[in-house]
Each structure stands twice: as structure tokens, then as C-alpha cells.
Amino acid sequence: MLMPKKIRYRKVQRGTLKGRSKGAREVTFGDFGLEAVEPGWITAQQIESVRVTLSRRLKKVGAVYLRVFPSKPVSKKPAETRMGKGKGSVELWVAPVKRGRVMFEIAGLSEQEAKEALRLAACRLPIKTRFVRRPVAQNTVNKEQVEQNA
């Protein structure tokens, strides 16, 4: 299970998920990605489930890139416990995901295969997602345009 080796504070506050993601808004490493449409917490178990699903689907042909990491501890108090007596112990680790963040990327597949693999991965997540492609570089010029200009 994913979790940080070392953290500054054992227990953290819940925080907020307002606004759009600050980073990881474009597909950078792979060819296709899964982008969050709504905010939410992705647990370490859910990330592992998506990783297993994608790696099984790719069958050593492509590559999987995880762009989220569960670095936030979530504490819970035991059931049927009275109020007070401090904050509960850390139960699970989550990755806070804001709108627009590319969470998973894959490379080495055709677009149809990638769509199907990421659809299966999206079924294991608690938030709405969408399929995105790597943006085409703006500085590249087609060979045909160069030949026409020459």
C-alpha cells in the first residue's frame, strides 16, 4: 500500500478542495490520461486497485504513470466512542484531488485500447473522470507546410 516514508505531522486537518488543480493539468508522460472532473479524496487502496487494473490490461505492452500519491493521513475515532479525548488515530492515507488534475497516464496503446483501459480504471474511483489526450505541441510544423512554403 502506498504511504509516505516520513511526514512532518502525524495528524493533519481536513483542508478544502475548492478550485482547480494547481499542477498536473496536462498529459505529460504518457499518451492518454484520466482527468478528474470533480474534487475528492482518492485512498491508497483505490490507487492500488487502479494500478492493478491498468497493468493487467496493458499486459507488459505499455506503461502506466501514477500522478497521484496518498500523502494525507485521515484519522478516525473508534465506533461507539464518546466525544472528546482528542483526535482519533490514523486509519488511512488519501490523495486530495482537485478538478482538472490528470491522475493516471498510459502509453504504448492505441486510442481505442487506452479508452477501454481507462474506462475500467475509472470504475474503481469515487469521483467523475474523463479521458484526455496529450496536447499537440504548438511549435511543430508539418513537413507539407514546409514544402509548400519552399
In a domain, residue 10? The reply is no
Q: What is the pLDDT of residue 150?
A: 60
Per the structure, the count of domains in the chain is 1
What tens digit of pLDDT does each residue of 120-144 get? 999 999 999 999 998 877 655 555 6
* Alpha carbon separation from 17 to 8, 64, 86 (Å, rounded): 21, 26, 25
In a domain, residue 67? The reply is yes
In a domain, residue 23? The reply is no
Q: What is the pLDDT of residue 68?
A: 94
In a domain, residue 24? The reply is no
Residue 118's nearest CA partner among 67, 57, 62 is 57
- Residue 105: give the domain boundaries: 40-77+87-134
Mean pLDDT throughout 49-73?
A: 91
Q: What is the pLDDT of residue 138?
A: 60
CATH number (domain holding residue 117): 3.90.1170.10
What tens digit of pLDDT does each residue of 1-26 get? 888 899 899 999 999 999 998 888 89
